[in-house]
Structure 1
């Protein structure tokens, strides 16, 4: 799709066409797909005559039109994401048409309906913000909190890509909500759609130079790959822009066309009219910190520093991705693999070269196969590296050795390194609602705190003075936001996507189902004698697209029909191993029949220190299925630690009622209270 390529530059054909009522240039056999469609400059109104300049560089005659998906045509005919969305937003209908539904994704919104309601469809919109590194200013948090109450369903949701989601926005309120976010220095541009999504980085606000540099790099990558045509501001704030100045190195790399990466004279020099074949995900981190699930991204960037902590360059992984389609074995989740190393001053050029390689060669005929992981799987890493190097203009250096990865939640109280502290809060499934929402607002507002969203759907309160620690801890506890010691370890690493009732792709429950699933897993742990402080990584999604990254879990549950899941096993606690499909269509009420024998045999047959994921991989699925099929329950009680807590029925019923309000079992709540009391009697009652 580029205006020029390093492989072969053909004759430049400049087509100047005046077409009444033009709505976009349609594909023709004159320009082979892969080199087509340079620049379209047309007015905001699709009804007026428009001047079009199309630049192409065909490499050879080709009379065969390459098949493209419907979405590709929508993009091409949209005047850089404007038409027909601009007209659909003005209509009285509560919904928008098919083309506009695809285009509004690039602006950060999905059209949805409430699937719990029967009868006429109740159309509404979900908005997703763009927050590189998960950074959210004090002002923006308070604005999002207000918008959720005034125009949404009263809740905020934290996503697995460090952003907010607002649900339940009516079409008539879209412009008001969008404009409010933009005018408060927020953005939704590129949070959805076929382009670079939110760039991840560790959310911890450490003053350490490697963390600061990694986060700055993530922000620069996000700026480099942000759409430039202005359609976003035209539609939502009447063309007014609310942007801070970009770093000069970002502007320089975006404009640089020395290796044939750009569309010449285009409003979108990197994306052109077609943008990318599908969504594109990037994460940046530092060695050992795998809070970002680095291997699940199209591009994973890892900072390499000198012994004194001074940043030197970056290792780059490519080709990760989670989405797949049930029972279509040619679709699959995939881990990123090493591409090479670049000096720190070259990282933006390297990122741009990888994006352009996918733009030029990713499939645009079938969206099931449009992610970059399929291109790399088809080509192999050597060919992919060779093509990227042509756009990069140099060879990649050898990948630098890295230490082992760790999952770091950044929960609890920590020193930032600049005299202040931060506090990471566990939020079940990222849903902020009710008393929790009210209390968080009060704390963030009263103490003027900035916040950060983590890739595990949690929230970090930043820049806290030491003298504020105790009153903040007390207020949080009263709202049910406990220090990590008092949260079930299963909940700490668990994730779920929103799924039903609003996601149109959901097959079954995820967010609404995971609280009960986790309680049932804990009950099985208790039954087979697994200690409370042991845990496994559990992730649940309502469909196979993998938004909560279930294919990296030790136990992944993937929606596979009404009230049923595929079970995936074998991921690692540090998110470096891909799980594999163990069973299909397991009904939710039958989970114990599968989990009890698996956990029992893990408890009794594991090697020293062996995680559940590693155990299932070592034993193998054939043997595990045999154990499940022959299971008749443990012969005798397995643990002397399964103690009876309640002395009388009245106490049990009172605790059970209280636990129900907190989405816990009576046993869980009682154990938390006991641990809390014991801890308070000893030294160091405050836990980091």
Structure 2
């Protein structure tokens, strides 16, 4: 029986993404979101690569109810999408020292200064009424100061204090805009991929000196469109504290006025800076802001940080970083992270922080509660110290892709765990101990930032991936295309020769990405082409295959989309249950 024959309307489902400046969410908000995901979503939560939560599977009829509950509890979805400043990311480390306090303070202020001011969202989803609670990140904020910064008119056309949108005006920005804030050396936010990267600079005693700024990063691109490309940010200069907001507003205004509004795929600020060059862009920023940029200050080497495990905050309490594979918070096959977080947050009223690496951090943990929290995690099948996973797995990221993203042409989240296992198997058999950063997306838009991974797998059709190699291990150098369309079944066949050469030719302490970049594309192609398959130590996984009819496959696919499982995993689950029932029947007959 079809929908048409019953007269029922199709039911559409949606994804909600929250705004969470710096990735932080108070305990009461997390508890609400957890309940909403059970009552209105697909029973999971998704930690994103921009330090926010997504909830999938919300039916169209329930959208207004869910929005109301979120807004009236002090949360928001405004500014999580659209042609404006998106969720601002920050180092997720919850230390209480001055530099990290400045990171959190300025992240929240920047998020609010560049928030859309229109009341349209409330008019649509709250019937024009004000939300029942102020957004949680505003509670300790000097909101009058924010409004003063937002509406300040320096006479250079940056803002119009009398406009409903003083900065964005009538047309908002040409495309989405992303900012990130961190401290020197901590590249947990992939700072060079941001439209604006902001580095908090302090003295040894904690006095705020100012901010190093970099501009023009961005990773989205389109297959077979050479005029689209990933780009890393350029160093713009150093700004003193009293000028930071004028300069940030000026950068956004330059993009607002001069960004490409004719060709949307070239609308990001990276293309403007690529066209103009950083010097011309800096001149415009200085003209718009009235502030002379100072030279960019020297920084220590950048290091990727994930902040997993236990860390003393500096105030007597601890924060705990939990690995969440591909950001999916769920209960499945004895891994009950969702239930564990619900219990821990409920019992101890702990704020939750989403890291830019799709992991979860619990903060403000009393030392006396550590053992009890560890026991809850342990009994829920959740590993909490990272020792139960390889470093390669801890570094991996994937976007949701199929079936949850309409832009995806290939799998990502659902196949990434197995792909990492295959990479781990190669490293183990070749006795390579160097961890490798691997990221996978279902399309070229780059949400999991594959173009700064040592191995980037970018969806390019069903089971086909563009293979990128050569990025640095600290995400400060872009990768390059090694293979346009690699069937995932050929993963071992393609990577093993390169890994063997890496083991043979690597320099002391050299990362896999640095090795690939040193060898270059042509030399690695020669390595792969001249490899003798009979010398392989690795056999590509030959998985058992079972043929089904087209009708059965269609039914499996429909149900797997609803359940959020791959068709093969659903088929295995059904077969296991059926075989169990048969075995029970046979034993009973005996």
TM-score normalised by structure 1 residue count: 0.74
Distance, in Å, in 2 between the alignment partners of 1:634 and 1:224 is 62
Q: Compare CA radii of gyration and give the structure with the larger one.
A: 1
State the match for 1:249 in structure 2.
145
Aligned match of 2:118 in 229, 235, 250?
Answer: 229
Q: Is the 8 A contact 1:291 1:407 kept in 2?
A: yes
Q: Does 1:607 align with 2:507?
A: yes
Q: Does 1:134 align with 2:34?
A: no
Report the Cα offset of residue 157 of structure 1.
0.3
State the match for 1:71 in structure 2.
none
State the match for 1:506 in structure 2.
408
Q: Does 1:461 align with 2:358?
A: no
Report the Cα offset of residue 230 of structure 1.
1.3
Q: Does 1:529 align with 2:431?
A: yes
Distance, in Å, in 2 between the alignment partners of 1:135 and 1:529 is 40
Q: Is the 8 A contact 1:280 1:298 kept in 2?
A: yes
The 5-angstrom pairing of residues 276-355 of structure 1 reads: 276-355=173-252
Aligned match of 1:240 in 130, 146, 164?
Answer: 130
State the match for 2:576 in structure 1.
none
Structure 2 portions without partners, runs of 5+? 539-568, 570-590
* Partner SS for 2:262: coil
Aligned match of 1:200 in 81, 89, 107?
Answer: 89
* Partner SS for 1:446: helix
Distance, in Å, in 2 between the alignment partners of 1:121 and 1:324 is 33
State the match for 2:549 in structure 1.
none
Cα deviation digits, residues 518-546 of structure 1 (max 9, x gap) = 01111111222213xx3110000000000
Structure 1 portions without partners, runs of 5+? 1-93, 95-118, 639-662, 664-688
Report the Cα offset of residue 605 of structure 1.
1.0
Cα deviation digits, residues 563-618 of structure 1 (max 9, x gap) = 11000001111111111111011001011111111111111110111100000011
TM-score normalised by structure 2 residue count: 0.86
* Partner SS for 1:617: helix
Report the Cα offset of residue 307 of structure 1.
2.2
State the match for 1:68 in structure 2.
none
State the match for 2:308 in structure 1.
411
Q: Are residues 302 and 630 of structure 1, via their aligned partners in 2, closer, same or farther at CA, if it must alter by over 3 Å? A: same
Moved more, 538-547 or 233-242: 233-242
Aligned match of 1:593 in 484, 490, 493?
Answer: 493
State the match for 2:33 in structure 1.
144
Aligned match of 1:516 in 418, 422, 425?
Answer: 418
Q: Is the 8 A contact 1:597 1:633 kept in 2?
A: no
State the match for 1:426 in structure 2.
323
Distance, in Å, in 1 between the alignment partners of 2:530 and 2:483 is 16
Q: Is the 8 A contact 1:322 1:549 kept in 2?
A: yes
Matched residue count: 520
State the match for 2:577 in structure 1.
none
Report the Cα offset of residue 365 of structure 1.
1.2
Distance, in Å, in 1 between the alignment partners of 2:448 and 2:265 is 19
* Partner SS for 2:121: helix
Q: Is the 8 A contact 1:528 1:634 kept in 2?
A: no
Q: Are residues 120 and 495 of structure 1, via their aligned partners in 2, closer, same or farther at CA, if it must alter by over 3 Å? A: farther
* Partner SS for 1:262: coil
Q: Does 1:394 align with 2:291?
A: yes
Distance, in Å, in 2 between the alignment partners of 1:250 and 1:631 is 61
Cα deviation digits, residues 202-236 of structure 1 (max 9, x gap) = 11211011001011111110000011121122222
Cα deviation digits, residues 335-392 of structure 1 (max 9, x gap) = 0011111111221111111000000001111110000000000011111111111111
Report the Cα offset of residue 426 of structure 1.
0.2
Distance, in Å, in 2 between the alignment partners of 1:323 and 1:122 is 31
State the match for 1:189 in structure 2.
78
Moved more, 236-245 or 250-259: 236-245
Distance, in Å, in 1 between the alignment partners of 2:233 and 2:466 is 23
Report the Cα offset of residue 187 of structure 1.
0.7
Distance, in Å, in 2 between the alignment partners of 1:224 and 1:299 is 15
The 5-angstrom pairing of residues 538-557 of structure 1 reads: 538-557=438-457
Q: Is the 8 A contact 2:473 2:514 kept in 1?
A: no
State the match for 2:372 in structure 1.
471
Q: Are residues 249 and 468 of structure 1, via their aligned partners in 2, closer, same or farther at CA, if it must alter by over 3 Å? A: same
The 5-angstrom pairing of residues 635-674 of structure 1 reads: 635=535
State the match for 2:521 in structure 1.
621
Q: Does 1:381 align with 2:278?
A: yes
Distance, in Å, in 2 between the alignment partners of 1:498 and 1:240 is 33
* Partner SS for 1:522: helix
Distance, in Å, in 2 between the alignment partners of 1:257 and 1:389 is 15
Report the Cα offset of residue 478 of structure 1.
2.5
Larger helix fraction of residues? 2
Runs ≥4 residues deviating over 4 A: 119-122, 633-638
Cα deviation digits, residues 299-320 of structure 1 (max 9, x gap) = 0000111122221100000000
Report the Cα offset of residue 120 of structure 1.
9.4
Cα deviation digits, residues 55-109 of structure 1 (max 9, x gap) = xxxxxxxxxxxxxxxxxxxxxxxxxxxxxxxxxxxxxxx9xxxxxxxxxxxxxxx
Q: Are residues 249 and 391 of structure 1, via their aligned partners in 2, closer, same or farther at CA, if it must alter by over 3 Å? A: farther
Distance, in Å, in 2 between the alignment partners of 1:358 and 1:139 is 37
Q: Is the 8 A contact 2:243 2:291 kept in 1?
A: no
